Structure 1
């Protein structure tokens, strides 16, 4: 098994303190948004084996896919690690976004390739032919937006702001069947005259600041993105606060945004994002409206399911990743994690021994398929270990 050397991405929305505090290092003063663990070509983890210089995990896997990933995983997902594990630290809201399903991603990627749209073009929607289901598990209280409210609830929230220019949206939300109402209002918000919408957003933001309570998350969003149409779009969505250990699964077509907090995120290995707002980046409204699922949903907060082995599993409906956690006392009996699939093990609290590796908070290890591995707690209190693997 290999201790991982990981890259921290300095996106502007990142917290300046959350990841350094977990790692036990001094903040740099710059945002530290995501620490990536895996073999994504954008920032692969590095490993050192047998005295060799550090190499990207992506190269190690490419040299011997079946040895590293296992024959079943290669047969099902191809010769690449099918998931990306992250520490995500939001100090400000991320963009409001959705992800395509697998068929939509394949079709969109093929169409843009045939049209000759460069992969790095700012208006490119599909960077690959894969879907991007994801799971976020809170390590601290974590705020996000996930899925549409019932139209009547969204209408009541907008009406409570008492902003004249929002009243047509309130009427639409009351007047149509659910799917049509949500579609028409989101379309109207994203296609409205930018100056007129900016004025509406400013007035709505001032009202949200004054009212507080259920409006407070949207007032915060507006402070970070003044005048952005995504502020009104965000009010159509459920606000969710996760407590540590709770999680959200985000499937295809579900609009969402992370607002604040530190969590462990795992996703299928894809970069496909269609944005709805809260961003200076390209918003392709027609393609977005084709991908979004216009239905009211319960955010569906997940809590881990315990087992007799001590493993607590976050149950999700896809196979590219499987996330679970262990909370290990210092005197806990060793737990065997040997598996025919690849694993990344991440310590988030206390200390955990993985084979012969001692992991502290923020440290991680890659375990090749079939590699014998046992985990135990270490002195100094309970240790928390997240286990990422696949279903193959």
Structure 2
């Protein structure tokens, strides 16, 4: 069992306070967006060298030296000699890009094509960094706002029509007249390929209207949101527009479901589902991939033809998950992916320790209180995990956890 030293990524959309508060450190004044736990080559966690001497080594190097010993033979057979998941703490203070992930066959095909064409790995227009898919799960630690999946076409038409913006009327007509999948494809294509200045004017008008409608009901004494069924969504879209003025992605975002997660709720995102995280702190786990196709809300490259190949043009209600209690005290978040499994343990003082054994590797993350992690049957090697701290447990090792706190457990689902 190895205590992890993790990298915090300073992306511009990150909160300046949420991750420092979790870690009990002083804010630097700079955004701190994601804390990575795992063996991703972009920012692998570090562990103390097991041979002693005080040096630290990358977890990826530890795994590379003995893949079967660290990951277990089942994980290696299924996913090769690498940790197949990446665990993160994500802290959003402003919207992330509107994006979608390919499925496994699309990723393999896209990666092979760009490799064959000699597209440099670090080229800004490169779509596929690897040949893997990227299913992901976000579990809220605070109230967490996001956009996920297309609304039904008729509902999207009503929402756009309610803004009473002339530039949106053609989209409303398409959404009401065409079959749903065809309509969603046609509208998204039109939004992303429109003349830039004309679309920027439409975005500005739509944002102003959304901001007004977000306060629906407040003028006559009712709570904000009571006067308009889409008021909370309008508020979210208006906020997106303030961060990305004139961006076509603002109108694309209006085609998506707005969702607010409460602490403990999670959102699963499969291939082809457009989404964007807006605001909040959460634990995120994903397959170990960097493949992202962007739809907007970003200065980065947007490859419209490839995006249209990958997006699933169908109404998709947000896949909000609540943990399912198991007999071992685990609260599990059930997903259809094999690369990862996420569960939560809410530990109480004086309760029996929970035994966490696995044939595959584990990362344990404390998000509240204090947790004691001890190798089964051993006094030596036990670690106290305070809020924000994490450990890597190799395959085949059983750990007993106890204390007064909340612990997330990430492992491989095979």
Distance 1:119 1:158 in 2: 39
Distance 2:166 2:198 in 1: 12
> Is 2:348 the partner of 1:339?
no
Match of 2:337 in 1: 318
Distance 1:319 1:360 in 2: 29
> Which digits, 9 at most, give the CA deviation of each residue in 1:208-264, with x for residues without a partner?
111112310000000000000000000000000000000000000000000000000
Contact preservation (8 Å) 2:269, 2:319: no
Give 3-state SS (helix, strand or coil) of 2:283's partner: strand
Match of 1:26 in 2: 26
Match of 2:104 among 102, 115, 127: 102
Unaligned segments of structure 1, at least 5 residues? none
Give 3-state SS (helix, strand or coil) of 1:174's partner: helix
Match of 1:51 in 2: 52
Distance 2:247 2:358 in 1: 47
Distance 2:325 2:51 in 1: 37
Distance 1:125 1:54 in 2: 33
Unaligned segments of structure 2, at least 5 residues? 215-230, 375-381
Match of 1:371 in 2: 397
Scaled by the length of structure 1, what TM-score is found?
Answer: 0.98
The offset of 1:372, in angstroms, is: 2.6
CA-atom RMSD, angstroms?
0.6
> Is 2:168 the partner of 1:166?
yes
Match of 2:346 in 1: 327
Which piece of structure 1 moves more, 364-373 or 271-280? 364-373
> Which digits, 9 at most, give the CA deviation of each residue in 1:314-343, with x for residues without a partner?
000010000000000021111111211000
> Which digits, 9 at most, give the CA deviation of each residue in 1:132-157, with x for residues without a partner?
00000000000000000000010011
Q: Which runs of 4+ in 1 moved over 6 A?
A: none
Distance 2:352 2:52 in 1: 32
Match of 1:129 among 128, 131, 147: 131
Residues 113-192 of structure 1 mapped to structure 2, 5 A cutoff: 113-192=115-194
Match of 1:41 in 2: 41
Give 3-state SS (helix, strand or coil) of 1:351's partner: strand
Distance 1:275 1:217 in 2: 19
> Which digits, 9 at most, give the CA deviation of each residue in 1:38-92, with x for residues without a partner?
0000000000124241000000000000000001110111000000000000000
Scaled by the length of structure 2, what TM-score is found?
Answer: 0.93
Distance 1:15 1:99 in 2: 24
Give 3-state SS (helix, strand or coil) of 2:142's partner: coil
Match of 1:255 in 2: 274
